[in-house]
Amino acid sequence: MLYRTRSPNDEQLNSVRRLVESGALLGRSDGGRRATWTTTEAALAEFMAQWQLRKISQDRRRDVPSPNGASGDRPNEAAHLELFYRGMWRDYFLAVMLRRRMTHRSTAFRRAVLAGQVVVLALLVGFVLGSVREFGVRSTATTEQRAIEAWIAEHTDAHVVTRWHPPSAAADGVVVCVQYRYRKDSLRWIHTERTFLIGGEGVTEMTLED
């Protein structure tokens, strides 16, 4: 704020440290071996207001010579004006610092909101695509496939069909081979390929002997 830069150099930092150590800029030390000084926005605004008043006063005395004799300003009126203008400058510098801080926070907030919206949108798209895919598979599944899936669901804790083989006719029904993975009494997925017979007795798993 003092040097109008976001990256003050060592000389500028040391200058501010000396201002705090001297008491010109109100601050406090942590009392450590290598003292760390801190100040506040209000203290900085007060310091800058006083600095601005001194600068204006010096410029006025330099540009407008005083007439011979004592000044015509009344002491009380001059003191009141000084307090008034110092308050105005303090409020101004405080407003500038507040605006910069809020602008920075607003940018971070907007970025956080945008990131949150992207995450929510990605989750929503994934959910919709998953639902559409599942609906599409279910809607195009044959009667035999739905019957086999019901059998698999009954005999497993969870399952996912990865491939259906074309059905083939048999003397007592329809034979369908299916690849799927499932979980049963464990978190481990098991990949398998099995053949089922769909006939008058429902769904029957076929073994090698069959």
Degrees (nearest 5) of the Cα angle 157, 161, 166? Answer: 140
pLDDT at 192: 94
Cβ neighbours, 10 Å, residue 32? 7
The residues near 174 (Cβ < 8 Å, ≥ 6 apart) are 144, 167, 168, 197, 198, 199
Which pTM value belongs to this model? 0.35
pLDDT tens string, the chain, 210 residues long: the values are: 778 787 889 888 888 888 888 888 888 777 766 667 788 878 887 888 777 777 766 665 555 555 444 444 455 555 656 666 667 766 776 777 666 666 555 566 666 666 766 776 676 666 666 655 555 555 556 888 999 999 999 999 999 999 999 999 888 889 999 999 999 988 889 999 999 999 887 898 887 655
Cα distance between residue 191 and residue 182, in whole Å: 7
Residue 71 is predicted with a pLDDT of 47
Q: What's the pLDDT at 41?
A: 78
What the block records as the tokens of 136 is: 């599409």
- The CA-based angle 146-148-153, given to 5 degrees, is 95
